[in-house]
Amino acid sequence: MKPNARQGRSTKVATIADVAQMAGVSPMTVSRVVNGELNVRPGTREKVQAAITALNYVPNQAARRLAGSEPIRIGMLYIDPSAGYLNEFLIGLLNKASLRHVQLVVQRCDAARDGEEAPVAEMIANGIDGLILPPPFCDSQPLLKLVADTDTPAVVVSAGQPPADVCAVGIDDYQAAYEMTRHLLNLGHHRLGFIIGDPYQSSSARRLAGFHGAMRDAGLNIEEEEVVAQGMFTYRSGLDAAEGLLTQERRPTAIFASNDDMAAATVAIAHRLGLDVPSDLTVVGFDDAPLATTIWPELTTVRQPIMEMAGAAVDLLVRHIRARRSGEPLPCEHELKDFELVRRQSDAAPRLRPPLRKGAAS
């Protein structure tokens, strides 16, 4: 019997990972080239196409067609401590889901930390294809374990330190808080107040760390020059925290709140105490939610692109679901979006003259 000319040769079929390794790019870039997406540099596209030719890589077109035509259902669990953040997030989700022809299943969970697995387990049992977990669920260890145990594709949004094995979209909370604190210091403030967000969310710790980092780098004694109060990302908690900070004998000249809801509450307490913002007190926030421009004075704040992050989460999840269906799963990705310090009317240099005494002539 004549020996087979191919005998002894490898019969391994080239995969998208093989192409990526040869081209020196990520599997996601190979996928974009194969799918004809335009957001790939010409030089990179040429390298990928050369690797495809060299390896004789042939995508499973039938599987890809099936993956692209089969409907996708994405679940999202939410709670609403900050209505402004939630509204922006939902708009971003809905806009992108409509463009990508994705069915969005939204489930409210009253128990943010106790029993949040039940609605997610129900969505998975009902055939959900993937999950988007915004704060505070992005940091829930029981939920992340459930996602891993059921092998459900998921994207966490705004997690301070997302797990390496879960896709994520967010901003650099540490650097954003650091830059805002530096802005306050550059204005001339040294006695700074800080309102911490929900302690169960890692982004709260990252923002506090950024605040501390800027204070230390400025050579300030943190124990003497900072005043910290606990909040929960809600307007109500901001009222309580701000009142505690502003009724101290040596009150801060500037307060940095971890979100706009708590910053708006701080402005309200300042007005109730007869303090002018920003002449007597500078107040800054975080998020740039709609509330930031609907109060007076309008808030100086950190803008994180909430709608863009929500849309990016949908895109990221859809790509991974379709890649799985085609038999070529992609590695997890962590996308960092740009933030921006937006200066409005709520910040100023500290007063250089003492405030008028009660009953003094103006």
Output the six-digit token pair for 245.
């900070």
Cβ pair 93, 107 in contact under 8 A: no
| Residue 334 phi, psi (nearest 5) | -120, 110
Element (H, E) at 49: helix 42-55
Cα–Cα separations (whole angstroms), residue 39 to 30, 42, 45, 68, 323: 12, 9, 10, 19, 18
Q: What is the pLDDT of residue 7?
A: 42
Mean pLDDT of the chain: 86
**Residue with the two structure tokens 């307490």:** 269
Nearest-angstrom CA–CA distance, 193 and 180: 13
**Residue with the two structure tokens 């939902």:** 90
What is the separation, in whole angstroms, between the first and last Cα of the chain? 112
Nearest-angstrom CA–CA distance, 191 and 82: 28
What's the Rg (C-alpha) of the chain? Answer: 25
Output the six-digit token pair for 308.
């863009």
Cβ pair 235, 285 in contact under 8 A: no
Nearest-angstrom CA–CA distance, 192 and 290: 25
Q: What is the mean pLDDT of residues 28-42?
A: 74
Nearest-angstrom CA–CA distance, 122 and 275: 50
| Low-confidence winner among 138-152, 164-178, 277-291 (lowest mean pLDDT) | 138-152
Q: What is the mean pLDDT of residues 57-80?
A: 71
Cα–Cα separations (whole angstroms), residue 112 to 108, 201, 205, 327: 10, 11, 18, 35
Q: What is the pLDDT of residue 5?
A: 41
210-228 exposure pattern, b = at least 16 Cβ within 10 A, e = fewer: bbbbbbeeeebeeeeebbe
pLDDT digits (tens, 9 = 90+) for 248-291: 989 999 999 999 999 999 999 999 999 999 999 999 999 999 99
pLDDT digits (tens, 9 = 90+) for 297-347: 999 999 999 999 999 999 999 999 998 888 888 889 999 999 999 999 999
Q: What is the mean pLDDT of residues 91-119?
A: 82
**What share of the chain has pLDDT > 90, as a percent?**
57
Q: Is the pTM of this model over 0.85?
A: no
Q: At CB < 8 A and 24+ separation, what contacts does 142-149 make?
A: 142/116, 142/117, 143/77, 143/116, 143/117, 146/117, 146/120, 146/121, 147/120
Which residues does 350 contact at the CB level (< 8 Å), separation at least 6?
A: 187, 188, 189, 253, 254, 282
Number of other residues whose CB lies within 10 A of the CB of residue 98? 11
